[in-house]
């Protein structure tokens, strides 16, 4: 039960929190694995106020900072500010206070409404535990022993297209609230260990759900469709 509640918490807050207002001030491109949504990363960093006052440094502690992108383990500015970086790369980002510690600040070191500057070095990147497939790979999955789970709302399906043979189990309402009965309906259609592909309209929501299944529920053989149904429409997919 605790795992289910944690799963719901992560899904809800991940779904509602994505933003793109971080500025990249300068960057040294790395050559290793790329940071994507739900990657697990190890970084060194220096945090500064706008007047260049340093309020935190992992270098000074001699300890890497480990976390997963996209599950609210860090401030929102970090969630998007690290995307696209690669192992060995360095990036300096400007984060407006709305995506940092907000109007209240953080303790005595970060005043209210503080815009922040972070110098970040990516040391290690571990890809998400779920697998991402594109539209062409979905065609192959449909001829194999995969279960295609369409998690969109009825309105999204009516206003778009439907994948032949897909099982519709809506995961979120239009406001991003998770349906608790999703698990019961899922268990009615999927056996433990079966290969499952989650499908959403644009691919972002299915990745959140796939990550929750892998990280919190410890499920295997979990996939999600990159770019969702919208991506299929660009390759002349044969819809129902």
> Are the CB atoms for 84 and 16 separated by under 8 Å?
no
Q: Are residues 120 and 189 located together in one domain of the fold?
A: no
Domain boundary (81, 104, 126) is at 126
Rounded CA separation 30/153 (Å): 40
pLDDT at 1: 41
Q: Are residues 41 and 113 located together in one domain of the fold?
A: yes
Rounded CA separation 133/96 (Å): 34
Q: Are residues 150 and 115 located together in one domain of the fold?
A: no
Rounded CA separation 3/124 (Å): 27
Q: Pick from 215, 172, 224: which is nearest to 197 by CA?
A: 224
**φ/ψ of residue 13, rounded to 5:** -75, -30
Q: 229 in a domain, yes or no?
A: yes
Q: Are residues 101 and 141 located together in one domain of the fold?
A: no
Q: Are residues 122 and 135 located together in one domain of the fold?
A: no
Tracing tokens 């980002």 back to the chain, one arrives at 93
Residues 6 or more apart from 218 whose CB is under 8 A from it?
none
Q: Are residues 138 and 228 located together in one domain of the fold?
A: yes
Q: 112 in a domain, yes or no?
A: yes
CATH code, domain carrying 41: 3.10.50.40
Tracing tokens 């009615």 back to the chain, one arrives at 188
Domain boundary (87, 105, 126) is at 126
In the numeric block, which tokens belong to residue 198? 């989650």
Pairing state between β 167-168 and 54-57? unpaired
pLDDT at 14: 52
Q: Are residues 54 and 146 located together in one domain of the fold?
A: no
Query: Total structural domains in the chain?
Result: 2
In the numeric block, which tokens belong to residue 19? 């933003």
CATH code, domain carrying 149: 3.40.250.10
Q: Are residues 95 and 174 located together in one domain of the fold?
A: no
Q: 226 in a domain, yes or no?
A: yes
Q: 106 in a domain, yes or no?
A: yes
DSSP 106: B
Q: Are residues 74 and 151 located together in one domain of the fold?
A: no
Q: Are residues 151 and 214 located together in one domain of the fold?
A: yes
pLDDT at 71: 87
DSSP assignment string, 135-170: HHHHHHHHTTTEEEEE---HHHHHTS---TTPEE--
Domain boundary (104, 126, 148) is at 126
- Domain coverage including residue 96: 27-126
Q: What is the pLDDT along the chain (240 residues), one digit of tens a residue?
A: 434 434 444 454 454 444 458 999 999 999 999 999 999 999 999 999 999 999 999 999 999 999 999 888 999 999 999 999 999 999 999 999 999 999 999 989 999 999 999 999 999 999 999 999 999 999 999 999 999 999 999 999 999 999 999 999 999 988 888 888 999 999 999 999 999 999 999 999 999 999 999 998 899 999 999 999 999 998 989 998
In the numeric block, which tokens belong to residue 218? 């410890």
Q: Are residues 175 and 157 located together in one domain of the fold?
A: yes
Q: Provide the b/e sequence for 144-163 (b: ≥16 CB within 10 Å).
A: eebbbbbbbbeebbeeeeeb
Q: 81 in a domain, yes or no?
A: yes
Rg of the chain on CA atoms, in Å: 20
Phi-psi map region of 134: left, alpha, beta (phi>0 left; psi -120 to 50 alpha): beta
Q: Are residues 60 and 111 located together in one domain of the fold?
A: yes
């Amino acid at each position: 039960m605790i795992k289910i509640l944690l799963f719901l918490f992560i899904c809800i807050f991940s779904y509602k929190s994505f933003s793109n207002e971080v500025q990249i001030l300068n960057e040294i491109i790395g050559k290793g694995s790329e940071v994507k949504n739900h990657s697990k990363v190890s970084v060194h960093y220096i945090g500064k106020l706008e007047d260049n006052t340093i309020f935190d440094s992992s270098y000074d502690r001699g300890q890497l900072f480990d976390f997963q992108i996209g599950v609210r383990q860090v401030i929102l500015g970090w969630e998007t500010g690290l995307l696209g970086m690669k192992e060995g790369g360095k990036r300096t980002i400007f984060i407006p206070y709305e995506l940092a510690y907000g109007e209240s600040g953080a303790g005595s070191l970060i005043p209210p409404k503080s815009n922040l500057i972070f110098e970040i070095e990516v040391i290690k990147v571990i890809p998400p535990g779920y697998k991402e497939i594109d539209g062409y790979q979905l065609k192959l999955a449909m001829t194999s022993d995969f279960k295609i789970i369409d998690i969109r709302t009825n309105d999204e399906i009516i206003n778009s297209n439907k994948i032949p043979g897909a099982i519709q189990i809506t995961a979120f309402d239009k406001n991003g609230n998770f349906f608790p009965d999703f698990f019961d309906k899922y268990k009615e259609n999927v056996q433990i260990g079966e290969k499952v592909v989650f499908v959403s309209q644009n691919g972002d929501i299915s990745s959140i759900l796939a990550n929750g299944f892998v990280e919190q529920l410890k499920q295997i053989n979990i996939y999600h469709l990159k770019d969702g149904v919208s991506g299929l429409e660009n390759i002349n997919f044969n819809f129902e």
